[in-house]
Amino acid sequence: MRVVVVLAAALILAVPALASEQHPTLAELEPQIMCPVCHTTIDQSDSAIAQRMKTFIRARIAAGDTASQIKDKLVAQFGPAVLANPPRKGFDLLAWILPLVAATAGAAALGLLAWRWSRRLAEPQAAPASAGPLDPDLERRLDDELARFEG
């Protein structure tokens, strides 16, 4: 039963994503495209090139291009740096994987340090080593001091 619910939810969520790919809007694509002049997304840029890119995207949407086709044409013209998110293939895949690896390694290191710290606190503390018998004169002075406090 749960599997059916999960599959139904996945299908329901996939339909808008597919529609967005087939019939993109300028508002959907603007935050995904970088301005080559000011290095911000074109929805935040007022540069002339950003305005021309927006005009190009509007024209491609009107021509019926998909989001992927529009992005591919922009990449062909400006290079892969025009995409706000690097592609999830080839060398660019490292931009997606390395932060996850670093976070996992950091969590493992913190866990190991916490475990070692807690183990050290749980170990019984060794008694200080005995220095041997006291000097007879020092022992007599200690007895005198103790007798003075007791009496």
Same domain, 9 and 77: yes
> Could you give the angle at which helices 48-62 and 67-78 cross, rounded to 10 degrees?
140
Residue span of the structural domain in which 113 resides:
88-118
Same domain, 109 and 62: no
Q: Is residue 135 part of a domain?
A: no
The pTM of the whole model exceeds 0.85? no
Report pLDDT digits (tens) over 117-137.
Answer: 988 877 776 666 666 777 889
Split into its structural domains, the chain has a count of 2
Q: Identify the sign of the CA torsion 68, 71, 67, 90.
A: positive
Report pLDDT digits (tens) over 9-60.
Answer: 655 654 554 456 778 998 999 999 999 999 999 999 999 999 999 999 999 9
Same domain, 78 and 93: no
Q: Is 121 exposed, middle or buried (0-12, 13-18, 19+ CB in 10 A)?
A: exposed
Poorest-confidence range of 17-26, 31-40, 77-86, 96-105? 17-26
Same domain, 56 and 108: no
